[in-house]
């Protein structure tokens, strides 16, 4: 069951289906359509899928699933009720409670209340914004920003947002239409997703507004709007290439306006600011979360979660979706409304619901599976760490030859990459390596220990004199 079409919920599905192609997929029309185009890219065509909508039920063995409309930063999101012999589970998926959403589809609190009266044994709730007090701002409240931007700008406007944020794209299209501008999409996922959304009726574009990006360039600059991917500073995205002036046909001009209409996902700060600086260097006016309210979150804040707990009145709560600090904050909210049993379970923890009581029953092995080029799961966390060291600290190789009869040390030959321009930087450490190895050879140390010794001597010196911790590869050859 896929609650909605965001990448963190559907992105791994092609890899799962490669292992087990017969797993049935359950989700709303838009969710499965977005997933379907992804599966086709992976050349996975034959899938078992069930398109469902709010109000519908579907049975899988001992589980009866029932779906409820929820509001989120992508249309057609669903919460799911799982009826089992052990009790009733309500899983919110990602959700918020915007009371004036752009598409008018609100989180169905009537249904939450009805289930609450019937009795919910386990309530699994989105923790993402549990630390944020109050209520998440309505999508409607940020509409003045695109309107103002369009009103003020006399040149080209580029808006970058998530390729799944159909409502944000709708806001930009509406503003473009109102200001007699034409719109083009740039970025593969933007083009793909918006054509799906338009075809299914989730995006409304008046005829003649949408043009090909290359055609757009022929129009006067005050009639151009580009909607692009890359709001998180992804290095290969359309926006990054525009900022670096390496995009094949979008060439930024002084006075153009660029809006980054999305949140800043933690960890992406450097990449995003690099793009903003790149755009500013060409003279663009950059509007982003740091200087204007251009984005609202897709997740319920603490106030909304409190309402949910009071409406659903669950017997047990299990916070989901978020880091441990978000889940703990969410657990506190549940307890504050009188929920006695809150189960804290991180990835891999097994929770059992027996006779209306949820408890931790075990743990299964789990972790990240890295997709590296065309290989899946072959690369480990330790090789990711090696790559990080290589990229940030560089690499030093030390080759020494030891005469196994006389114990005489030849070399060392030292080469570095990404560390020092000139290998002569290592001249100072060479005598110390020779001394240490000569002594070790006299004591009959084996070659593995000698390698460790070289690594230690070089590592200590590099750290002391250069304050760096590069990867050191010692090679000790006994000849
Ligand atoms: Zn989501
Ligand atoms: Zn999510």
- Summarised one tens digit per residue, pLDDT across range 316-349 is 999 999 999 999 999 999 999 999 999 999 999 9
Q: What's the CATH number of domain 140-287, 3.40.50.10710, 1.10.3720.10, 3.40.50.720, 3.30.450.20?
A: 3.40.50.10710
Asked whether the beta carbons of 102 and 94 are under 8 A apart, the reply is no
Mean pLDDT of 211-220: 91
Ligand nearest to the CA of 322: 2
- pLDDT over 70 at 213, yes or no: yes
Q: Is the pTM of this model over 0.85?
A: no
CA angle 103, 180, 173 (to 5 degrees): 25
Phi and psi at 148, nearest 5°, equal -65, -45
Ligand 2 centre distance from Cα of residue 9 (Å)? 6
Confidence of residue 295 (pLDDT cuts 50, 70, 90): confident
Residue 323's region, left for phi above 0, alpha for psi from -120 to 50, else beta, is: beta
Q: How many whole angstroms separate alpha carbon 400 and alpha carbon 456?
A: 15
How much of the chain, in percent, has pLDDT values that exceed 90? 62
Q: Which class is domain 52-135+297-363?
A: alpha beta
Ligand 1 centre distance from Cα of residue 107 (Å)? 14
Identify which has the larger pLDDT, 456 or 110.
110
Ligand 1 centre distance from Cα of residue 275 (Å)? 24
- pLDDT over 70 at 107, yes or no: yes
Confidence of residue 250 (pLDDT cuts 50, 70, 90): confident
Confidence of residue 421 (pLDDT cuts 50, 70, 90): low
Phi and psi at 67, nearest 5°, equal -115, 140
Identify which has the larger pLDDT, 213 or 479.
213
Mean pLDDT of 62-73: 97
Which residues of the chain does CATH 3.40.50.10710 include?
A: 140-287
Mean pLDDT of 276-305: 93
> 141: which DSSP letter?
G
Ligand nearest to the CA of 9: 2
- pLDDT over 90 at 128, yes or no: yes
Q: How many whole angstroms separate alpha carbon 141 and alpha carbon 134?
A: 16
Confidence of residue 190 (pLDDT cuts 50, 70, 90): very high
Which residues of the chain does CATH 3.60.15.10 include?
A: 52-135+297-363
Burial of 109 (0-12, 13-18, 19+ CB in 10 A): middle
Mean pLDDT of 243-261: 91
Q: Give me the pLDDT at residue 377, please.
A: 67
- pLDDT over 90 at 84, yes or no: yes
Identify which has the larger pLDDT, 238 or 3.
3
Which range has the worst mean pLDDT, 38-47, 54-63, 304-313?
38-47
Q: Give me the pLDDT at residue 249, please.
A: 83
Ligand nearest to the CA of 297: 1
- CA dist 406 to 142, 214, 320, Å? 79, 73, 66
Mean pLDDT of 410-417: 82
Q: How many whole angstroms separate alpha carbon 234 and alpha carbon 251?
A: 18
Ligand 1 centre distance from Cα of residue 5 (Å)? 7
Q: Give me the pLDDT at residue 146, please.
A: 82
Identify which has the larger pLDDT, 109 or 142.
109
Identify which has the larger pLDDT, 249 or 126.
126
Q: How many whole angstroms separate alpha carbon 176 and alpha carbon 183?
A: 7
Ligand 2 centre distance from Cα of residue 266 (Å)? 14
Q: How many whole angstroms separate alpha carbon 158 and alpha carbon 66?
A: 41
Which residues of the chain does CATH 3.10.20.580 include?
A: 374-478
Ligand 2 centre distance from Cα of residue 319 (Å)? 13
Q: Is 396 helix (H, G, I), strand (E, B) or coil?
A: strand
**Nearest CA to 7 among 37, 50, 29?**
37
Ligand 1 centre distance from Cα of residue 443 (Å)? 63
Q: How many whole angstroms separate alpha carbon 415 and alpha carbon 397?
A: 5
Mean pLDDT of 226-250: 90
β-strand partners of 125: 319
- pLDDT over 80 at 479, yes or no: no
Q: How many CA atoms lie within 13 Å of 278's alpha carbon, on the beta-carbon side?
A: 19
Ligand nearest to the CA of 8: 2
Q: What's the CATH number of domain 374-478, 3.10.20.580, 1.10.1740.10, 3.10.590.10, 3.40.50.2000?
A: 3.10.20.580
Q: Give me the pLDDT at residue 354, please.
A: 92
Ligand nearest to the CA of 128: 2
């Amino acid at each position: 069951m896929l609650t909605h079409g965001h990448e963190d919920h559907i992105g791994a599905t092609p890899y799962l289906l490669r292992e087990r192609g017969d797993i049935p997929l359950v989700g709303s029309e838009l969710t499965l359509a977005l997933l379907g185009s992804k599966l086709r890219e992976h050349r996975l065509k034959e899938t078992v899928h069930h398109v469902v909508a709010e109000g519908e039920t579907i049975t899988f063995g001992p589980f009866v699933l029932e779906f409820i409309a929820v509001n989120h930063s992508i249309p057609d999101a669903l919460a799911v009720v799982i009826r089992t012999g052990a009790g009733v589970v309500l899983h919110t998926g990602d959700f918020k409670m915007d009371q004036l959403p752009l598409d008018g589809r609100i989180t169905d609190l009537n249904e939450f209340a009805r289930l609450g009266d019937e009795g919910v044994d386990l309530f699994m709730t989105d923790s993402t914004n549990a630390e944020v007090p109050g209520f998440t701002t309505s999508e409607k409240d940020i509409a003045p920003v695109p309107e103002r931007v369009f009103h003020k700008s006399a040149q080209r406007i580029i808006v970058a947002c998530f390729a799944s944020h159909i409502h944000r794209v709708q806001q930009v299209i509406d503003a473009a239409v109102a200001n007699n501008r034409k719109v083009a999409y740039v970025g593969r996922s933007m083009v793909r997703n918006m054509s799906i959304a338009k075809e299914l009726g989730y995006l409304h574009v008046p005829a003649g507004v949408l043009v090909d990006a290359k055609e757009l360039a022929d129009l006067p600059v005050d009639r151009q709007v580009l909607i692009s991917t890359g709001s998180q500073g992804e290095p290969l995205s359309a926006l990054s290439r525009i900022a670096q002036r390496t995009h094949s046909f979008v060439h930024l001009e002084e006075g153009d306006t660029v809006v980054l209409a999305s949140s800043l996902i933690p960890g992406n700060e450097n990449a995003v600011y690099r793009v903003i600086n790149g755009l500013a260097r060409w003279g663009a006016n950059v509007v982003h979360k740091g200087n204007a309210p251009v984005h609202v979150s897709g997740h319920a804040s603490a106030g909304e979660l409190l309402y949910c707990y009071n409406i659903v009145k669950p017997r047990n709560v299990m916070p989901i979706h978020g880091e441990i600090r978000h889940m703990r904050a969410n657990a506190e909210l549940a307890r504050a409304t009188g929920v006695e049993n809150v189960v804290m379970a991180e990835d891999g923890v097994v929770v059992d619901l027996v006779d209306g009581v949820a408890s931790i029953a075990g743990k299964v092995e789990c972790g990240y599976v890295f997709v590296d080029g065309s290989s899946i799961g072959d690369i480990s966390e330790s090789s990711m760490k090696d790559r990080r060291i290589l990229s940030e600290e560089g690499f030093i190789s030390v080759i020494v030859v030891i005469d196994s009869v006389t114990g005489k040390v030849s070399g060392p030959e030292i080469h570095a990459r990404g560390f020092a321009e000139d290998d002569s930087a290592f001249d100072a450490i060479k005598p110390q390596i020779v001394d240490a190895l000569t002594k070790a050879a006299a004591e009959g140390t084996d070659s593995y220990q000698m390698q460790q010794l070289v690594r230690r001597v070089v590592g200590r010196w590099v750290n002391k004199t250069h304050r760096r911790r590069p990867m050191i590869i010692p090679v000790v050859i006994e000849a």
